[in-house]
Amino acid sequence: MAKPSNAPVPYDLHPSVAYVQSILSNLEANTGRSLEAWVALTRKAAPAETRARIAWLKEQGLGTNQASLVAQRAGNEPGHAFGETPEGYLVAAPGYVDTQYGGKKAALRPLFERIVSQVRGLGADVKVCPCETIVPFYRNHVFAEVKPLASRLDLGLALGDPATVKDASGRLKDTGGFKKKDRITHKVEITSEADLAIALPWLKRAYERDGG
């Protein structure tokens, strides 16, 4: 019999997975119908187009998130990874990263891996939770995220009000997120190891801000 692997899991469970699973598991208690019953009813009585289906389900008393999840399954759509089981998400997560760093963006992968290493070094409570197009980092909330572009990485940071953040180097950019009430308010563009050295103090600051 093969011995179980002691290798660390490369990525962590996204908080939204548990949220979606909670919606699905409580659907019958909250609405009087199971997920399977809602799916069957939707396929029989609701419009075929997804948005129209969601609107119809909301007219039946479902909340927006409930309606979206039922419509997704009624349409046999793959949907977002967050609709998967925790086990399914963890199996799929490496593939999201592989896709993000495929083709011409493969050259950016070493920089991404270096960022992940630096983030992991900030504390044992860090969670690295890939999505389809970005990789966010969590402590209590999202405190940073990495998005690959054609020739660089954008390291997004949750640093709060730009009026309280001073950067003499000019490398830290205001994303406009604070005015929009987004978590990510700033970014540093990463193209080299030197850029990572500039970004690290800001990454640490974002992590420490999320410690409350």
Q: How far apart are CA 212 and CA 209, in angstroms?
A: 7
User: Is residue 201 located within the same domain as residue 105?
Assistant: yes
* pTM (predicted TM-score): 0.77
Same domain, 156 and 186: yes
Q: Please identify, among 83, 116, 133, the residue that sits at the C-terminal boundary of a domain.
A: 83
* Residues paired with residue 173 on neighbouring β-strands, in sequence order: 187
- If asked whether residues 73 and 158 sit together in one domain, one would say no
Q: Indicate the number of domains in the chain.
A: 2
The answer as to whether 8 is a domain residue is: no
Residue 111: HSE in the Cβ half-sphere, 13 Å Cα cutoff: 25
Tell me which residue of 125, 124, 161, 159 sits closest to 145, measured CA to CA.
159
What is the rounded distance in angstroms from the CA atom of residue 92 to the CA atom of residue 96? 7
Q: Which residues of the chain have pLDDT under 50?
A: 1-7
Does residue 78 share a domain with residue 112? no
Measured between alpha carbons, how far is 157 from 202 in angstroms, rounded to an integer? 8
Q: Would you give the distance in Å from CA 6 to the centre of its chain?
A: 26
pLDDT of residue 72: 85
The single-letter code of the amino acid at 69 is L
Pair 68, 54: CB distance under 8 Å: yes
Query: Are residue 113 and residue 174 in the same domain, yes or no?
Result: yes
Residues 152 and 120 in one domain: yes
50 inside domain = yes
CB neighbours of residue 153 within 10 Å: 26
pLDDT of residue 140: 94
Q: Based on the domain organization, do 26 and 78 belong to the same domain?
A: yes
Residue 42 φ/ψ region, left for φ over 0, alpha for ψ in the -120 to 50 degree band, beta for the rest:
alpha
List, in sequence order, every residue forming a beta bridge with 157; answer none if it has no partner: 144, 186
Task: Please name which of 46, 82, 85 lies closest in space to residue 67, comparing C-alpha atoms.
Answer: 46
Same domain for 182 and 134? Answer: yes
Answer whether residue 91 is part of any domain.
no
pLDDT of 133 reads 93
Q: By residue range, what is the domain housing residue 33?
A: 15-83
| Contact present, 148 and 112 (Cβ < 8 Å) | yes
Query: In this structure, are 66 and 116 located in the same domain?
Result: no
For the chain, give the percent of residues with pLDDT over 70. 91
Q: According to the model, what pLDDT value does residue 85 have? A: 78
Residue 1 pLDDT: 36
With respect to residue 148, please indicate whether it lies within any of the assigned structural domains.
yes
pLDDT of res. 77: 59
Q: Indicate the residue among 83, 116, 139 that finishes a domain.
A: 83
